[in-house]
Amino acid sequence: MDITILGIESSCDDTSAAVLRNNVLLSNVIASQAVHVKYGGVIPELASRAHQQNIIPVVDTALREAGVTASQIDAIAFTRGPGLVGSLLVGVSFAKGLSIARNIPMVEVNHLQGHILSHFVDLPDRQLPHPDFPFLCLLVSGGHTQIVRVDSPLEMRIIGTTIDDAAGEAFDKCAKVMGLPYPGGPVIDKLAREGDREAFRFARPRVEGYDYSFSGLKTSFLYTLRDAVAGDPDFIERRKADLCASLQHTIVEILLDKLVRASKQTGIRDIAIAGGVSANSGLRDGIVEAGRRRGWRTFLPEFKFTTDNAAMIAMAGYYRYRQGEFSSLDVSPAARLEELA
């Protein structure tokens, strides 16, 4: 029997709704919030208000584009966390309202598991490559950097995580000190293409196991700029491309180093990446190259599934729905990963 899921994502600054039939994507609508650009970062209070304004038109559009009416939806999957509480609250409350109005179940989704399960979505006209279980997923976003061992759609174990900044945060913070617009990741990615990645050397972390750290790199980047600008006020402008290329190269090498070790030690060679930073061209090239050398099968998400989207939430919701894992009406957002089951 076909199962039609409406997915809702509102954890940060993108309001998104998607319709999925089994694992085939019928629509995926994303309203990005431009309001944060002038502040150089996401302002939680403004994000909640924008979600409140966007949610109904975004859901309406997603249903229309899918050619589905509200009465044809079997369940609503929503992001319960982690994320900004006020933003999550909009999606959670919307899901409750629709669940009561249509008498259909709600399924809560862990946003990070959603990113990982985006690898199982197919398009109406095209099957996408899916990893086999177990696989390792390098999950790299603005808030999280993890190596996750995925044994099934509902069984995942974090085997490495950042002890300070996330990879996306490292991109965004370094971009900010260079005076680049928010979010800095995509801007650095673009500038890096024109630069020499060997031009500068920045500090690399020494952390045990599969854990990551990016705060030392950030500090060393900052000191390099400070010392250089003291003698040459135009330094950043002149060397922007080289700075971006070297920074990106360092971040990618840090990410790959632990991933390679995790693959060696677990013997798992199906390797996926997910999350906003998985759009990064240096990381994508680096994973493919490492995979070629080590006999991995590598899985890079389509660009539309890298940053926050509701397709991945609907996908994760589909698997939970099939297990009968429904949420009750007293469910509330969980800002932190630790609060989620």
Contact 141, 277 (CB under 8 A): yes
* 168 is an interface residue for ligand KG4 by CB under 6 A: yes
Site string for ligand KG4, 227-246 (x = CB under 6 A): --------------------
Which stretch in 32-40, 214-222, 252-260, 274-282 sits in contact with ligand KG4 by CB under 6 A? Answer: 274-282
* 277 is an interface residue for ligand KG4 by CB under 6 A: yes
Q: CA distances (Å), 124 to each of 27, 65, 127, 128, in order?
A: 10, 13, 8, 10
Binder of residue 317, out of Zn ion, ligand KG4, none (CB less than 5 to 8 A by kind): none
CA 7 to chain centre: 16
* 183 is an interface residue for ligand KG4 by CB under 6 A: yes
* 279 is an interface residue for ligand KG4 by CB under 6 A: yes
The three-point CA angle 127-25-275 to 5° equals 85
Distance separating alpha carbons of residues 77 and 312, to the nearest angstrom: 10
CB of 70 vs ligand KG4, minimal distance in Å: 28
* 276 is an interface residue for ligand KG4 by CB under 6 A: yes
Q: CA distances (Å), 128 to each of 1, 2, 47, 123, 147, in order?
A: 22, 19, 32, 7, 22
CB of 206 vs ligand KG4, minimal distance in Å: 24
Binder of residue 185, out of ligand KG4, Zn ion, none (CB less than 5 to 8 A by kind): ligand KG4
Distance separating alpha carbons of residues 25 and 111, to the nearest angstrom: 18
* 255 is an interface residue for ligand KG4 by CB under 6 A: no
Pick the binder of ligand KG4 from 185, 195, 286, 291 (CB under 6 A): 185
* 171 is an interface residue for ligand KG4 by CB under 6 A: yes
- Count residues binding ligand KG4 (CB under 6 A): 19
Which stretch in 130-138, 166-174, 212-220, 290-298 sits in contact with ligand KG4 by CB under 6 A? Answer: 166-174
Distance separating alpha carbons of residues 194 and 241, to the nearest angstrom: 6
* 301 is an interface residue for ligand KG4 by CB under 6 A: no
Contact 187, 175 (CB under 8 A): yes
Query: 12 or 75: whose CB is closer to ligand KG4?
Result: 12
Restricting to residues 98-157, name those near ligand KG4 by CB under 6 A: 141-143
* 275 is an interface residue for ligand KG4 by CB under 6 A: yes
Residues that bind ligand KG4 (CB under 6 A): 12, 141-143, 168, 171-172, 183-186, 189, 275-277, 279-280, 307-308
